[in-house]
Amino acid sequence: MKIGIISEYYYPYLGGIAEHVHNTWRQFRARGHDVTIVTPEMKGLRYGAGVTRGAGWAQESEIIRIGSSRPFYFNDGFVRLTSPFGLVRRLREVFRSERFDLVHVHAPLVPMLPMAAIKAADCPVVGTCHTETSGNTAYRVANVWFWRFADRLDGCIAVSPVAAEAMERHFGLSCTIVPNGVDTALYRPGNRPAAGFADGRRNVLFVGRFDPHNGLKFLLEAFPLVKNQVPDARLVVVGDGPLRKSYERLVPPSIAGDVHFLGMQYLRKPELYACADVFVNPALYHAQGIVCLEAMASGTPIVASAIRGFEWLMQDDAVYAEPGNSAALASAIIETLSDANRAADLRRRVRARAERLSWEVVSGRILDYFGSVIGGTAPDRERSQHAERSVHRQGAPQPVH
């Protein structure tokens, strides 16, 4: 099968969608499929991986870069949008040249590149929804406009029921749930701990972009309370973003030496999980959370916000705290650090759960779904809709109706 993966995000940008794109690209190729990534240029990216190549990264010959994306602040986070000028025309040229059997569009109902790809596609299109958008005002206000693109999808995947909710509510799309995956060989118990943090002190680890919705503010407010009860605790913060200085100012001078802002540290993540006594994800909302999966695969006990995406992913294999409540977060961290038997039990359970979500397993499920779309048997779209769109797309690309 010749597959085009369309995403606003790919390396050197870091995030859950970029991880999904890379790992499915790698797994699809390992199964003998011809796969090309279509993504924008990201000139001047400040908070990327810090390297332009890593082991197994897609080479430029396997990537088609279209347009240039720019960062924008939206919905308590920093997102990127590709310039729309000439985008549909350029995508149509690419699709005519590549002759994909199927196009896989990530975050399909988000401007600009994903929606332009849906409009330009001349083959079956599957969208994967990654985020919680149940309260999306734009979907309510401009429903008819978004519906035009939703109706052109031949199949819809969501990484969790939370991600699927808005698609059902606003567009009547019944998504097939295929969770995010994790590299269980890269992230595993027994990895060598990071140098400088394996000295017997108890390490509290945060990994994520410095977007407000990821909740780092609440962890920084909680940590002094943790230190009062666990004097040898140390906070290790992995990530970066425009708000870094603001977050650094939240740390009281009296404990500044116990809070380490390391930057992105993409290639060091396995060894940083390995030295963590607890991984903390204080996000206010998430559909699932790839960093939680990395911690799970590493066998690291997890404290997380009690939000639906996390509770669905980890169920009773994590310790939860009320979202946005720094005192509750501190109590959950202290509880986890203070109970060695429970921590050991959590380490075993999260690893076992992660093994069921390896990228090998997840990618196989996605490919099975692609086959059902091409064969007209996808469970979440009526066969008549597939037939109508197939006839519509046999000629030259048509405008959206």
**DSSP state letters, 282-347:** --S--SS-HHHHHHHHTT--EEEE--HHHHHHHTTSSEEE-TT-HHHHHHHHHHHHH-HHHHHHHH
Same domain, 14 and 142: yes
- Cα 389 vs. chain centroid, distance in angstroms? 30
In a domain, 294, yes or no: yes
Share of residues in the chain with pLDDT > 70 (%): 90
Contact 36, 4 (CB under 8 A): yes
Which pLDDT belongs to residue 144? Answer: 78
97 contacts: CB under 8 Å, gap ≥ 6:
none
Which pLDDT belongs to residue 54? Answer: 56
User: Confidence class of residue 253 from pLDDT cuts 50, 70 and 90?
Assistant: very high
Same domain, 345 and 364: no
pLDDT at 398 > cutoff 50: no
Helix (H) or strand (E) holding 167, with range, is helix 161-171
Same domain, 252 and 375: no
- Residue span of the structural domain in which 321 resides: 202-355
Q: What are phi and psi of 303, to 5 degrees?
A: -110, 130
How confident is the prediction for the chain on average, in pLDDT?
90
In a domain, 293, yes or no: yes
Same domain, 76 and 220: no
pLDDT at 390 > cutoff 60: no
CA distance 257 to 384: 64
Helix (H) or strand (E) holding 82, with range, is strand 77-82
CA distance 151 to 172: 9
pLDDT in tens, 365-387: 999 999 999 998 887 654 334 33
Contact 164, 136 (CB under 8 A): no
Q: How many domains does the chain have?
A: 2
In a domain, 370, yes or no: yes
In a domain, 11, yes or no: yes
CA distance 295 to 379: 33
Contact 191, 172 (CB under 8 A): no
Over residues 234-254, mean pLDDT: 96
* Least reliable range by pLDDT among 78-92, 255-269, 302-316, 342-356: 78-92
Which pLDDT belongs to residue 135? Answer: 62
In a domain, 399, yes or no: no
pLDDT at 329 > cutoff 70: yes
More confident residue, 312 or 390: 312
Alpha-carbon distances, residue 354 vs 73, 292, 300 (angstroms): 32, 10, 11
The string of DSSP codes covering 215-259 is: -HHHHHHHHHHHHHH-TTEEEEEE---TTHHHHHTTS-GGGGGGE
Same domain, 265 and 363: no
pLDDT at 388 > cutoff 70: no
Contact 355, 184 (CB under 8 A): yes
Same domain, 13 and 52: yes
Q: What is the CATH number of the domain that holds 233?
A: 3.40.50.2000
Over residues 341-361, mean pLDDT: 97
CA distance 398 to 401: 9
Which pLDDT belongs to residue 145? Answer: 83
Strand order across the 233-238 sheet: 259-263, 233-238, 202-207, 278-281, 302-305, 319-321
Same domain, 371 and 351: no
pLDDT at 266 > cutoff 80: yes
In a domain, 195, yes or no: no
pLDDT at 77 > cutoff 80: no
In a domain, 187, yes or no: no
Which pLDDT belongs to residue 132? Answer: 81
Same domain, 40 and 173: yes
* Least reliable range by pLDDT among 92-101, 312-321, 386-395: 386-395
pLDDT at 51 > cutoff 70: no
Which pLDDT belongs to residue 397? Answer: 29
In a domain, 177, yes or no: yes
Report how far apart the first and last C-alpha atoms of the chain are (Å, whole number).
Answer: 29
Which pLDDT belongs to residue 47? Answer: 78
Alpha-carbon distances, residue 215 vs 58, 60, 78, 95, 103 (angstroms): 32, 35, 14, 40, 34
Measured from the Cβ of residue 384, the count of other Cβ atoms closer than 10 Å reads: 9
Among the listed residues 242, 354, 234, the one whose alpha carbon sits nearest the alpha carbon of residue 295: 354
Among the listed residues 301, 287, 309, the one whose alpha carbon sits nearest the alpha carbon of residue 332: 301
Helix (H) or strand (E) holding 3, with range, is strand 2-6
Which pLDDT belongs to residue 384? Answer: 33
User: Confidence class of residue 264 from pLDDT cuts 50, 70 and 90?
Assistant: very high
Same domain, 71 and 208: no
Among the listed residues 212, 7, 241, the one whose alpha carbon sits nearest the alpha carbon of residue 106: 7
Question: Which amino acid belongs to residue 139?
Answer: Y
Same domain, 208 and 223: yes
Same domain, 30 and 106: yes
User: Confidence class of residue 96 from pLDDT cuts 50, 70 and 90?
Assistant: very high
Same domain, 363 and 344: no
Among the listed residues 164, 179, 182, 158, the one whose alpha carbon sits nearest the alpha carbon of residue 315: 179
Among the listed residues 2, 66, 88, 92, the one whose alpha carbon sits nearest the alpha carbon of residue 396: 92
